[in-house]
């Protein structure tokens, strides 16, 4: 019999599978959206129009104000456009950047949205939102930030370059890995996080061999959804990666990919059951080394130095991370955080 646990069921309607994007108008009708704005990243307006075509006359306009890093100026531009066009709903098309902005907009305006997901970031499944970076960061958590529906159509990911796909998959992998040793994990989260790690790890070599392998695309997208939707509280890996990318302008997904093997290596020394799960999922006795080897095999940067962090930035990064409260299977003082960041900076094989 399982130990007692608490599990809160997902409140987002999910449409998964090839061709599911064609059901966009059906979802808008179900949600009583009559005037819809298509939200996308800068330069992706034509893609948004193509994906939004099933909406027909419901489309009131396209807003391509999204930029990486969730800048406040982009948020203001999107809110103004929704008001100008008298929108009663919007469709966010893309990955982490537009979806992150969509969540902040929805939390502020209470206008519902549909997320059409084109990468593996998983942002659409988290109620937490933020805007800006560093000292200017604003953040919060609200059920209004979540999309009313999320559409996962593998066909929309086939043109994603392999390097981008690999980094995005490893960003998703970080959710799965940290979930298996999160203090609030439960049998559902543990089982599905392990499956997410297995699917993501198995999909990447196939995508490298053939980025248009639709079966591999489907497995990667399914793994990313599992990792995002069934997750525990974030730990050391996310806290380091998020603080580094926000404060030192490193690329989002690649930063998560680079930090993960080192933060996981540190954490797993005090989490034998989690280590066993990940070893099974990754097919390797040393999960931290296996995660590092995935980065190497995918041609991803293995260290933060390669992403633009300077060695002189490390003390400041340690200070920022050490101020945060987060769970970790073993005690994690500032000196421990520094040790992890220094290994992640150098980018050699994890040693814990």
Query: Domain holding 249: CATH number?
Result: 1.20.1090.10
Do both 177 and 317 map to the same domain?
A: yes
- pLDDT of 134 reads 65
> How far are the Cα atoms of 24, 49, 152, 153, 155 from residue 19, in angstroms, in the given order?
10, 16, 9, 6, 7
DSSP state of 34: -
R_g of the chain computed on alpha carbons: 20
DSSP state of 32: T
What are the 10-residue block averages of pLDDT along the chain, 352 residues in total?
64 91 96 98 94 97 91 93 97 94 96 97 91 78 94 96 97 97 94 97 98 97 95 95 93 97 98 98 98 98 98 98 95 97 97 91
- pLDDT of 136 reads 72
- pLDDT of 5 reads 61
152: helix, coil or strand?
Answer: strand
Establish if 3 belongs to a structural domain.
no
The C-alpha angle 341, 138, 80, rounded to 5 degrees, equals 135
Residues of the chain by 3-state class (helix, strand, coil), percent to 5: 55, 10, 30
Range of the structural domain that residue 254 is part of: 162-346
Provide the CATH number for the domain around residue 148: 3.40.50.1970
The pair of three-digit structure tokens given for residue 345, joined into one six-digit string = 């900076």
Establish if 8 belongs to a structural domain.
no
Do both 333 and 293 map to the same domain?
A: yes
Do both 204 and 305 map to the same domain?
A: yes
Do both 87 and 130 map to the same domain?
A: yes
Do both 136 and 223 map to the same domain?
A: no
Do both 212 and 234 map to the same domain?
A: yes
- pLDDT of 69 reads 80
274: helix, coil or strand?
Answer: helix
pTM check: above 0.85: yes
Report the candidate in 227, 149, 154 with the shortest Cα–Cα distance to residue 195. Answer: 227
Establish if 5 belongs to a structural domain.
no
Do both 254 and 335 map to the same domain?
A: yes
CA–CA dist 137, 156 (Å, integer)? 31
Establish if 4 belongs to a structural domain.
no
Number of domains, the chain? 2
Task: Give the residue from 123, 139, 157 where a domain finishes.
Answer: 157
The dihedral of CA 142, 147, 150, 156: what is its sign?
negative
Task: Give the residue from 112, 130, 157 where a domain finishes.
Answer: 157
Q: Count CB-CB contacts under 10 A for residue 114.
A: 27
Task: Give the residue from 119, 134, 157 where a domain finishes.
Answer: 157
The C-alpha angle 71, 150, 27, rounded to 5 degrees, equals 115
Beta strand segments in the chain, E: 13-16, 36-41, 59-66, 89-94, 113-117, 128-131, 138-141, 149-152
- pLDDT of 9 reads 64
- pLDDT of 70 reads 83
């Amino acid at each position: 019999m399982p130990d007692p646990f608490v599990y809160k069921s997902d409140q987002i309607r999910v449409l998964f599978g090839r061709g599911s994007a064609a059901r966009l108008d059906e979802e808008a009708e179900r949600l009583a959206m009559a005037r819809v704005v298509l939200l996308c990243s800068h330069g992706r307006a034509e893609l948004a129009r193509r994906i939004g075509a099933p909406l027909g006359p419901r489309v009131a306009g396209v807003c391509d104000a999204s930029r990486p890093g969730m800048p406040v100026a982009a948020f203001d531009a999107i809110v103004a456009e929704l008001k100008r066009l008298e929108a009663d709903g919007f469709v966010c098309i893309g990955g982490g950047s537009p979806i992150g902005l969509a969540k902040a907009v929805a939390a502020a305006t209470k206008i519902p949205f549909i997320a059409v997901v084109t990468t593996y970031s998983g942002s659409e499944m988290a109620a937490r939102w933020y805007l800006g970076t560093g000292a200017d960061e604003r953040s919060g958590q609200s059920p209004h930030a979540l999309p009313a529906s999320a559409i996962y159509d593998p066909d929309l990911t086939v043109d994603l370059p392999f390097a981008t796909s690999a980094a995005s998959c490893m960003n998703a992998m970080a959710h799965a890995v940290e979930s298996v040793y999160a203090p609030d994990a439960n049998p559902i989260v543990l089982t599905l996080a392990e499956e997410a790690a297995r699917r993501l790890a198995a999909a990447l070599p196939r995508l490298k061999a053939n980025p248009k392998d639709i079966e591999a695309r489907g497995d990667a997208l399914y793994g990313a959804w599992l990792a995002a939707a069934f997750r525990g509280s974030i730990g050391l890996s996310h806290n380091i990666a998020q603080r580094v990318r926000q404060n030192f302008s490193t690329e989002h997904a690649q930063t998560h990919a680079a930090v993960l093997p080192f933060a996981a290596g540190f954490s797993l020394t005090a989490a034998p059951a989690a280590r066993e799960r990940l070893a099974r999922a990754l097919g390797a006795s040393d999960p931290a080394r296996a995660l590092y080897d995935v980065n190497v095999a995918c041609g991803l940067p293995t260290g933060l130095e390669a992403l633009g962090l300077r060695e002189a930035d490390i003390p400041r990064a340690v200070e920022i991370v050490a101020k945060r409260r987060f769970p970790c299977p073993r005690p994690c003082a500032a000196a421990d955080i520094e040790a992890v960041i220094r290994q992640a900076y150098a980018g050699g094989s994890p040693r814990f």
